[in-house]
């Protein structure tokens, strides 16, 4: 029997962590790498990288064996088995 939960799934955590990592990487490159002093990475390029890489990683990471989705009151919810 699956039990509803509000805990993010492994896929969601991986996508969010990737977004945070890309944001931190862009900050470090723009701040400490001399090559990027004259022409820093733009906010638009950083946003694109964050969105695309986060989505790709979230797609690639498989759900944990105990993760499922169930229908509760007409809506889909995360659940653990």
| pLDDT single digits (tens) 12-21 | 999 999 999 9
Q: What is the pTM of this model?
A: 0.80
Give the mean pLDDT of 53-68: 91
Domains of the chain by residue range: 3-80
Helix axes 43-60 and 10-32, enclosed angle (nearest 10): 150
58 has pLDDT over 90: yes
Give the percent of the chain with pLDDT over 70. Answer: 100
Residue 7's nearest CA partner among 49, 72, 64 is 64
Q: What pLDDT sits at residue 71?
A: 86
CB 12, CB 58: distance < 8 Å:
yes
DSSP 47-63: HHHHHHHHHHHHHHSPP
* Residue bearing the bigger pLDDT, 66 or 32: 32
């Amino acid at each position: 029997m699956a039990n509803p939960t509000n805990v993010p799934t492994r896929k969601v955590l991986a996508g969010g962590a990737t977004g945070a990592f890309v944001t931190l990487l862009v900050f470090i490159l723009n701040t400490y790498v001399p090559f990027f002093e004259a022409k820093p990475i733009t906010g638009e390029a950083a946003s694109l990288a964050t969105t695309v890489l986060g989505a790709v990683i979230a797609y690639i990471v498989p759900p944990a064996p105990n993760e499922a989705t169930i229908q509760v009151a007409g809506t889909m919810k995360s659940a653990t088995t």
